[in-house]
Structure formats: structure tokens, C-alpha cells
Structure 1
Amino acid sequence: MSTLKRRDFLGASAAAALLASSGAVRAGSQSQPGRIIATEEAFAPKRYFQEYLKLAERNESMVTRYLKMYYEKPQVVKQLGDIDIRLEDMDRHGVDMHVLSMTAPGVQVFEEALGTELAIETNEEIASIIKRYPQRFAGLATIAPQAPEKAAAEIRRCMSELGFSGVIINSHTQGEFLDNPKFAPILEEAIRQQAPIYLHPTFPPDTMIEAYTDYGMMGALWGFQAECSMHVTRMILSGVFDRYPELQIVLGHMGEGLPYWLGRMDNRYQNILRRGGLKPLGMTPLKKLPSEYFRSNFTVTTSGMNWQPPLNYCLDLMGPDRVMFAIDFPFERTGDAMGFLMDAKKTLPTKVYEQLSHGNAERLFRL
């Protein structure tokens, strides 16, 4: 396949001035008409694979057997860690920037000390890549939530010293979710640093995984979205966004199925509230309806969902300022995602397409 021509950059200065006036763009950066930013692009250093395979030998399970099928293949390791392979793929398809984030399940599966160490090493490696290619890569900080105070310190370091754009959390941490008060230091530091949290799915925890182990259901086919949507529902219903109204969460895969379910969630919450059932069911009174938190505290990306109907639905439901383009490289093919984006360009208003392809990412991640 021939390399696509680079994007037309005419008018970049005017667009940059507009974004800079709102504080959305980092010093020295430009908003470029036609720019394409992919916002959920997996990365992993070599040591991560080495440590995970050691863990898999010690603790064999359905999940470790599942991941060993991938992690023992040299090509998978190269695609996730080799920047030259990544750049060649980006150039071939006309992608200007990848926002790099630690692949799932990431460092959250390890014990506290090793997870924290691997998080720091991963962030140092991503930071070195960004320094070499500042126009091509941005990064989301890897943290080990199993050590909340250390994780908060790493958010602070990555955002204030290394120039990262947000945080990646690969959903539950050894069966614990972000509604747990123990994770408050992480949420508070993310707010202080104006760091959106990309909540990426992972395999269902041990307490619920058995029903997903048949038919290949426990991974991205179904278990990922089931796990992550449950995580988000816990956060909303527990009052996380009443306690932290400035917290911003990014969800991939067109919102992990939640946009379709919000009306039902509102309906059932109101029904329980009217019947006086919140306290008996251990529920928290909320200041707003569940769907209102989703519209004010969440942004969704298109990763792995190269289909126009859910894109149109999310744009209508959430508004064009809360949907971003993503590929899910290397687990999805860049050509498929770019074909989907170019089809969307034909039908969307120019301003909406520009927000989808790069504008919202520039604003939210301060690129």
C-alpha cells in the first residue's frame, strides 16, 4: 500500500491561536487542520512481558493462558514496543500522532513493589519516545493503583516533569474498583494535575470470570466491556462524581456499551428512589441522574468500533466535543480504522469531523 500524502497544514497558525487562547494547547504546539490523532494506542516495554510470563508460570489461570498465546509471540512484543514498526504503520496510513498507553492488564496484576517499579520504568521509556518524536507521540502515565499514594506521586511526576497528557488505568486492580475510598489519592491527584483518566477494560476479576471463560468471551469479544461498564456503573452509583465533580474519564470502544444503557439506568434509579429503596439496597443518593454524569464527566473514543451507527449515536447523545478517534493499535488494523474515519468525514459536518479526528484530543490531553 502506498504512503498517503501528509496533511495540508494551511491555516494552522489561526487554529493554534484559537486553542491557545483557551489554554488548551501546550506551549510550542499547533493545531493543524487535517491532523489525525489516535488516542488509545497500546504500548509495553520488553520487561513487562518478561515479568508477566514469570507470573504466568507461578500462577496459571485462564487469563494467563489466554495472554501467553500473545505474549510468547515475538511479533506481538515488537508491535507493542518497537517504535520504528509503529511509525512505519502510522506513515503508511496517514496517522499524525499516537497517544501511547500501557497495554492491559498492565502493571496492576503485579504485587505492589514490582508494579510500582514497572510503572516508573514504562513512563521513563514513553517519555524518551516523546522526547525523540514530540510531534508524533504523546503519553498517558502508567500507575500501580495497588499502591495509591505512590501512584498519586507518579501522576504528579509524569504530568509536571515528564509532560504526559493523562493517566491510564486498566480498570480493576486485583478485584478492586475506583469507587473504593482507598483510591482517593489517585483521583484527587488526577484532578490537581488536570489529568484525564483513560479507564481501559481488562479481564473480569476472579469473582466473576467463570461465566466468561467459555467461547472466548473473557477478552475483548465480550468480557472486557462487561467488566469496564460495571466499573463505571459502580463509580457513578457510589457518588464518585459528586465527590469529585471535576474528574474526567475517557472510555474506549464507544463507551463500553454504556451509552445505549443510560436511559434504562436513569429509569431504574428513579424507580428505586421513588419507592424509598436506596437505603435498603445500600445505594447512595445522587445529585444528578446517572446519564448526566456520563455526559459531563466522560469522553468516549472509537477504538475497535469502526462502525458508523454507534458513532452517530454517541455524537448525538454526548455531543461532538466528547467523542475522539482511536485505533487500538496493534490489536486493530490501522487501515480499517482510517477507512472508517474517512467514511465518517464524508457524512459529518467539517467542524464535527475536525473535533473527532484531532480537536477534542488536543483540548482534553492538551496536545
Structure 2
Amino acid sequence: MRLIATEEAVSFQPIVDALNAHARTDDDSLDMILVRDIYGDNGIRNAMIPRLTDITGERLAQMDQNGIDMHLLSLTAPGVQMFAPDKGTEMARIANDLMAEAVRANPTRFAGLGTFAPQDPHRAALEVERVANTLKLNGLVINSHTNDRYYDDPFFYPVFEAIEASGLALYIHPRAPSKMIDKAFRDYGMNSAIWGYGIETSTNAIRMILSGLFDRFPKLKIVLGHMGEAIPFWLWRLDFMHGYAATAFGGAPKLKLKVSEYFRRNFAITTSGVENHPALRYSVEVLGPENVMWAIDYPYQPMAPAVQFIKTAPFAEDVKAMIAGGNAARIFRID
């Protein structure tokens, strides 16, 4: 059984330096809690940076110890989306060049996702084309909203047109809630993975579906982590209530398919950070085993428990092999 972990975070020194500079600004967005904690001069989690920038040291040693065949590497949140458009575009190109270099240096152990700066959609579309055709990376990654705009906004259509044409899957990774909803998440540590990340990202994804984005771009493939940011558990209610919202109240547009049908057609999910067999069984049942991929969320979560989780998953060996690595190889074009 091939083990391909599909949400494995990295960063590169130029991105670290740029975020360190951003940590000194007066930006008051909710993401700044994480940025200042990790990248700030007095960050309480500065020790995370060596683990993020390491690729072939401790990371590879732990992969070997735990029998992990491959990490699908992605630039960690908040990526390049907090920068001004020119800076974000420049940082995306630098990160993608370094990602491609890392994959070329160790192609049997690492695959990689490219990124882009959605704050400049036209240059982002060009970078998507470069990721696909020149760098030949395995997919794309961004982090939920950009400048408090969600991806149902027509502002981003040029990017999605380029992504659909490339055939690459887009991983939408969490970031802290946008200023549209952030006040409720500023207490009790709710800004990050305990709650805010999932609510932020699932809200973005549902807006994409309800807006009709996937009628306009039916071949888009979106990947969500953390067991689908809880959306699989809401599909029945989404279908039921959308029927009312599209006819009697709420103003939801008519769609060609049910919400659940778009989710099964246009989305896949990973298990990153949710090592829970009942949740996995349910997700496989409602989405089909072909739409679920194993992930660790390293270095934010340890490798060994995640490996134990997938090896003991309550499925036949062929289904387990699909989730552990077969689906990732197909969706992310991994040889």
C-alpha cells in the first residue's frame, strides 16, 4: 500500500523573510495572530520555521521511520495572499521555483503544489499556466479568502478559467476568518484550527457552490482538507434547505445540480488533522472512496499517529489503498 500524504506544509526563506516584515506592519486581520506568533521577531512559535523550511532532513528521516512513500508539499498558510499584488505575484513565482527545485531534487519522495496571488487575477492566471506547463508541478494551493473576498466573486473568474484549462486540482487550505465574519473568532483561540479555520474555508466553498461557479466551470477540481471542513456532514441539509432558499426565501440562484452533486463531482477531501475512523467511514460512504485522500498535516501534526490511523482504517485493502495513496496519484498526477 503506497502512502502519499497530501497536505504537508513547507515554507522557503524568502517567504519567511517577507512574512517577518509583514509581522511588523499594522495589519489588524485575524491572520496576524498566527503570522506574529510564527514569523514575528518575538514569535512564541519561531521553532516551527526550521521544521517548515526543512525538506530533506528531519522530515525525510521521519518519513523513512514511518514507511511514508511521499509527501505532497504545499506552501503553508497564509501563503502569498496577505501581500500587495506586486509583492504577492513576485513571492508566488519565487515559491514555485523553489518548490519545483525541491521536487526535482527528490522526485520519488516529494511532489509539489504551486501557488499564485489571487489578488491580481490576470497575473495569477499566467502563473497557473507556468506552474502547469513550465514547472510541471502536481497541482495548486491557496488559502481561503483573499483580501476578504471569497471565490464566488467574479473578480476571480480569470484565475478559475486558467485553472480549469490547466486540468490541475486546486487545494483550498484554511486561513483565519475574513473580516466579514472575524469578530466571533477573536476569543478562546477560536481564530485557528480549533474552529475558525474550518468555518472560514467551508463558508468559502459553499459560497462557490451556491453562486453557480461550477456551472460556469464544470471541470474544476477542488480539494479540501480536514475531512472536507465538515461539509460532508451537512450535505443532506444543504440539499434540503437550498430547495427552499432557491424558491421561497434567501435568493439563492437556481443550479443545474444539487449541492451534494457538485460536492461529489467537483470536490475531493483529505483526512488532514482528523484521525477519526467514524468520520472517515462516513465520508467514504457519502462521497465514495474515490474522493477521499489520506494526509498528515505535518509539521503541525505528527506522522506516526497518522500512519497508524490509515493502516488500521476499517476498509478492505483495495479501498484502503485508494485512500492511502491511489487517489492522490490520480488527482495530483503523481507517477
- TM-score normalised to structure 2 length: 0.95
The one-letter amino acid paired with 1:109 is: M
Q: Which residue of 2 aligns with 1:81?
A: 53
Counting aligned pairs with the same residue, the percent is: 41
Unpaired segments of 5 or more residues in structure 2?
A: none
The one-letter amino acid paired with 2:119 is: Q
Name the SS of the counterpart of 1:101 in structure 2: strand
Q: Would you say 1:272 and 2:272 are equivalent positions?
A: no
Q: Would you say 1:67 and 2:35 are equivalent positions?
A: yes
The one-letter amino acid paired with 1:157 is: R
Q: Would you say 1:102 and 2:71 are equivalent positions?
A: no
Kept in 1, the 8 Å contact 2:226–2:273? The answer is yes
Q: Distance in 2 between matches of 1:293 and 1:123?
A: 30
| Change in CA separation of 1:132 and 1:66 when aligned onto 2, cut-off 3 Å | closer
Unpaired segments of 5 or more residues in structure 1?
A: 1-33
Q: Which residue of 2 aligns with 1:6?
A: none
Q: Distance in 2 between matches of 1:118 and 1:272?
A: 41
Q: Which residue of 2 aligns with 1:130?
A: 103
| Change in CA separation of 1:350 and 1:116 when aligned onto 2, cut-off 3 Å | same
Q: Distance in 1 between matches of 2:332 and 2:32?
A: 33
Residue 206 of structure 2, aligned match among 213, 220, 233: 233
Shift of 1:158: 1.1
Q: Which residue of 2 aligns with 1:313?
A: 282
Q: Distance in 1 between matches of 2:214 and 2:26?
A: 36
Shift of 1:60: 4.8
Q: Which residue of 2 aligns with 1:284?
A: 253
Q: Distance in 2 between matches of 1:165 and 1:225?
A: 24
- 1:129-168 alignment to 2 at 5 Å? 129-168=102-141
Shift of 1:74: 4.3
Q: Deviations over 1:71-119 (max 9, x none)?
A: 3344311111111221112111111111111111110011001111111
Q: Distance in 2 between matches of 1:219 and 1:74?
A: 17
Shift of 1:351: 1.1
Q: Distance in 2 between matches of 1:235 and 1:68?
A: 30
Aligned Cα root-mean-square deviation (Å):
1.2
The one-letter amino acid paired with 2:78 is: P
Q: Which residue of 2 aligns with 1:45?
A: 12
Q: Which residue of 2 aligns with 1:113?
A: 86
The one-letter amino acid paired with 1:313 is: Y
Q: Would you say 1:301 and 2:273 are equivalent positions?
A: no
The one-letter amino acid paired with 1:293 is: Y
Task: Tell me how many residue pairs correspond in the alignment.
Answer: 328
Name the SS of the counterpart of 1:98 in structure 2: strand
Name the SS of the counterpart of 2:171 in structure 1: strand
The one-letter amino acid paired with 2:159 is: I
Residue 292 of structure 2, aligned match among 302, 317, 323: 323
Name the SS of the counterpart of 2:298 in structure 1: coil
Q: Deviations over 1:19-77 (max 9, x none)?
A: xxxxxxxxxxxxxxx21100111111112222112112112535323332223344311
Residue 354 of structure 1, aligned match among 321, 329, 335: 321
- TM-score normalised to structure 1 length: 0.87
Kept in 2, the 8 Å contact 1:141–1:164? The answer is yes
Runs of 4+ aligned residues of structure 1 deviating over 6 Å after TM superposition are none
Name the SS of the counterpart of 1:355 in structure 2: helix
